[in-house]
Amino acid sequence: MEVRNNKFLKKLYMNKKIIIAILIALLGASLRIFLNEKVAIPNFEAVTSLSLLAGSFLGGVFGSITSLLMIFISDIYLGNTQIYLFTWSAFLLIGIFGSLVKNNSRHHVLKTAGMGVASVLFFYLWTNFGWWLISGTYEMSFFGLIKCYIAGLAFLRNQMISVLIFVPVFSPMFSFFFQKVFYRKSEMKTVKQAL
């Protein structure tokens, strides 16, 4: 009887994670479209912050899947550029980076913001390298790459500002939700034992 209950709780826990990942992806895609259309500041977005938090609270696999869903859904509306493989792979890894920040750790907001800064720098280096490599806009030399990175500094600034705004806004919301709604103490003791 207990084994059946444990299997049921594991399945319930996994189903909750899937539903929450989909909800976060829909929120992220909606915010990406809204910010792109209404605010219209290039690279001012919530996807990086939500990807990190999804990774932190749901785990690396769910963080990555959630990141890709956000980008895929919003790209249906917004479209993408020829460097989409660089963009998508960057967000996939940012979801994994989020799993490195434990959601129950002390100073979670600061640690997530720090990981956000690192993630934005990674995103900037990786996607600008992709633009240099594929676009044909810059000469294929070290100096061409440097010019590409210099041209991308405004995008870096905007994305950095967005992470420093959205992580502190969303992190307490995620913490409250996951502590009060997702992780019911009586349920979680049994699930942790079953896992």
**Positive or negative torsion for Cα 132, 138, 141, 147:** negative
Q: Mean pLDDT, to the nearest integer, of 145-169?
A: 96
Q: Estimate the crossing angle of helix 47-58 against helix 84-99, to 10 degrees.
A: 40
8 Å CB contact between 52 and 98: yes
pTM (predicted TM-score): 0.86
Neighbours of 176 (CB within 10 A): 10
Question: What pLDDT does residue 184 have?
Answer: 58
Q: Is 83 helix (H, G, I), strand (E, B) or coil?
A: coil
- Read off the pLDDT of residues 44-103 as tens digits, 9 standing for 90 and up: 999 999 999 999 989 878 999 999 999 999 999 998 888 889 999 999 999 999 989 877
Which of 37-51, 91-105, 134-148 is predicted least confidently? 91-105
Q: What is the C-alpha separation between 146 and 97, in angstroms, rounded?
A: 26
Question: What pLDDT does residue 49 have?
Answer: 95
Which of 31-40, 77-86, 146-155, 160-169 is predicted least confidently? 77-86
* Pick from 108, 112, 97: nearest CA to 59: 97
Provide the percentage of residues in the chain whose pLDDT is more than 90: 62
Question: What pLDDT does residue 106 have?
Answer: 74
Q: Is the pLDDT of residue 168 over 90?
A: yes
Question: What pLDDT does residue 158 have?
Answer: 96
Amino acid at 60: G
Question: What pLDDT does residue 177 have?
Answer: 83
8 Å CB contact between 174 and 53: yes
Please tell me the class of the 2-186 domain. mainly alpha
Q: Estimate the crossing angle of helix 153-177 against helix 142-151, to 10 degrees.
A: 60
* Domain range list for the chain: 2-186
Query: What's the number of CA atoms in the CB half-sphere (13 Å) around residue 38?
Result: 6
The region that residue 43 occupies, defined by phi over 0 for left and psi between -120 and 50 for alpha, beta otherwise, is left
